[in-house]
Structure 1
């Protein structure tokens, strides 16, 4: 092989490795985000909290949680335990993930479905914006912000912030 052919193969191999790394990152992040629903609905408080950085933030309309202990406490709370005992599902839709080096963002939806006297009903639909970072042990959540999709402008704004080049009408 000539030096030029070797360089071409090395360049193509490096590009392929970069593409594979991007796919692996997106898959790992997607799996992390999609694990939230089953973990929170099964009451696995420690595992839910471990999705976040030690000092990660979970900002829900009615609740601000700073750090893993606060997230763990939310899952262990009497209110959350009542949701589980009554039957609920936090359905997390597939996220749209953008990776940039050791950081990433994702947006998507979560539906909270609860069991009631007349069967299952949608309790709320939320817009979600995730900020993630890669650490020595893989990806974790630095910040997750949820806003109810009830007509307030901040909810679609949260989704649109992930797509800076998209023009809103």
Structure 2
């Protein structure tokens, strides 16, 4: 049932509400996309991990630079990553701060790599993550993920600050 809306103020309020709902839905979709990385990469599901990225998307993590879905899938299939899975590990990301601007977005979060060892589970790495994302026909995809270890060097802190302010790198 369609209701005729003639009052300009009501039309403006409705348009503003629709825009707010769209931004909230976009933010939630992006947060869910980023949150799915950990379970998928710990499962070793290379194809699903790669599908989180745009076809030409990139992932730059401290000395390892990947471009395109094939490179990202190869990382998940790699001997080092498969070794992490076999020994027991968990990649935890979040919470995520998302800035949506139309069909592009910036997100930032911390992540932890937890590994199983002789004395139980231990945090092996804490990382700053900066994402740029773009809306695709089938939903949001990562265009670029840049990750740096939180090892006291300024480069990781710059990622966090830029992402929290919604700035592209």
**Same fold per superposition (TM over 0.5):** yes
Match of 2:109 in 1: 108
Say if 2:45 is the partner of 1:9. Answer: no
Helix, strand or coil: the match of 1:94?
Answer: coil
Say if 1:4 and 1:83 are closer, same or farther in 2 by CA, change over 3 A. Answer: closer
Distance 2:143 2:19 in 1: 24
Over residues 8-63 of structure 1, what are the superposed CA-to-partner deviations in whole Å (9 max), with x where a residue is unaligned? Answer: 22111111100100000000000000000000000110000000000000000031
How far apart, CA to CA, are the structure 1 residues paired with 2:40 and 2:13?
A: 40
- Residues in 2 aligned to 1:56 and 1:116: alpha-carbon distance in whole angstroms: 33
Deviation at 1:78, TM superposition (A): 1.2
1:50 aligned residue: 51
CA-based RMSD of the aligned residues comes to 1.6
CA–CA separation in structure 1 for the residues paired with 2:80 and 2:160: 28
Taking structure 2 as the reference length, what is the TM-score of the superposition?
Answer: 0.93
> TM-score scaled to structure 1, two decimals?
0.93
Alignment partner, residue 155 of structure 1: 156
- Within 2, Cα distance between the matches of 1:51 and 1:92? 14
Deviation by residue 1:102-137 (Cα, 9 ceiling, x = unmatched): 000011101000000111001100000000000111
Return the offset for 1:4.
9.4
SS at match of 1:151: coil
Aligned to 2:134: 133
**Structure 2 segments unaligned to the other structure (5+ residues):** none
Provide the C-alpha distance between the structure 2 equivalents of 1:88 and 1:60, rounded to a whole number of angstroms: 18
In the TM superposition, 1:13-92 aligns within 5 A as: 13-92=14-93
Tell me the equivalent position of 2:124.
123
Shift of 1:94: 1.1
